Amino acid sequence: MTPKPFEHAQFAHCESGVMATLFSAYGFPLSEPMAFGLAHALSFVYLPFVKVNNLPLIAYRSLPKSIIKTLSKSLHVTMKTQTFKGEKEANEALKGVLSEGKIVGLQTSVYYLPYFPKDMRFHFNAHNLLVYGMQEENYLISDPVFEEAVVCSQEGLSKARFAKGVFAPKGFMYYPKNMPQEVDMHAILHQAIVKNAKAMLTPFPFAGVKGMRKLAQKILSLQTEENQRYVKNYLTHIVRMQEEIGTGGGGFRFVYAAFLKEAKEYGLNEALLEEASALMVKSGSALREFALYCVEGSKKPQSLNTQKIANKLIEASTYEEQAFRLLKTLK
């Protein structure tokens, strides 16, 4: 299955951007919001018992690779996926599929990609990008967070594909083997939206809307914490998990709001989707303010106001509860 001539595009988030470009190139036009929403990828998880750099895991979207897997399953697309034992084997396989004219998705580490500016590099092993050709021994790369396509050395890309640690890529490579001829988008969209609504309204106290409020409670407790270094690290960790991992919490909410607007084109309840979309935009804006308040609190611990920070997160959770209670009733 040969893709169309390649065109680079910049997106808000790496995995949904890669899948939108990949599916479009292989004959199934798809926007980034639609890729994200069909994979019901919006989430919130606060897990104090799972540590990232000795601080709690906080996530605003589903786990890495979930968009690849869920979107493919929803649209009945068979993906060719591979991991590898070493760099040599991975490079040979990549060159092989590129020689067939295929466009390929890869999972990499941001930290080791040589074309990333140094101040943008951090240890995150679930960054997705596309390789669409070669220039001598260098790879032609469409990285969805960059304005233009870039060129990357084989050595640099190999190092990024085999970074160690959490979500280690192990050379993960993927591309579609088939594309659907006909899809019942109305039914698929309905299922994806209701599933996402149920996940965000889960009774589990550390996930969804309840998880946002659980984190707000923890933030309130920081007001009496004597270890100022811990408070600073905690608040900056929240911002890093929200704003630097992918598009961040606010960004994901704006993407999902755009998805709901696009879903109106397929015969679903327009008024309900419009209202829910507006609420998600409000949540995204509140989360951006929440991040700013966290930054302020970390820089000026003497004037820390945890009530102000927690209230902004609760505000966002209220918008999301209203939106997903609406979406759960979608007919």
CA distances from 272 to 280, 286, 316, 319, 328 (A): 12, 21, 19, 14, 10
Looking at the structure, tell me whether residues 37 and 85 fall in a common domain.
yes
What domain range is 82 assigned to? 14-176
Instruction: Give the residue from 176, 196, 215 where a domain finishes.
Output: 176
Looking at the structure, tell me whether residues 110 and 128 fall in a common domain.
yes
Residue 302 backbone phi and psi in degrees, to 5? -70, -25
Residue 5 lies in a domain: no
Looking at the structure, tell me whether residues 120 and 213 fall in a common domain.
no
pLDDT digits (tens, 9 = 90+) for 109-128: 989 999 998 877 777 888 99
Could you tell me the pTM of the whole model?
A: 0.93
CA distances from 11 to 4, 197, 281 (A): 19, 24, 18
CATH code of 113's domain: 3.90.70.10
Instruction: Give the residue from 176, 207, 227 where a domain finishes.
Output: 176
Mean pLDDT of 32-48: 96
Looking at the structure, tell me whether residues 169 and 190 fall in a common domain.
no
Residue 6 lies in a domain: no
pLDDT above 80 for 52: no
What is the rounded average pLDDT for all residues in the chain? 93
pLDDT digits (tens, 9 = 90+) for 209-218: 999 999 999 9
| Residue 303 pLDDT class (50, 70, 90 cuts) | confident
Mean pLDDT of 311-329: 98
The Cα 254–Cα 65 span in angstroms is: 21
- Greatest alpha-carbon pair distance for the chain in Å reads 62
pLDDT digits (tens, 9 = 90+) for 168-196: 999 999 999 999 888 999 999 999 999 99
CA distances from 219 to 50, 95, 231, 293 (A): 17, 49, 9, 12
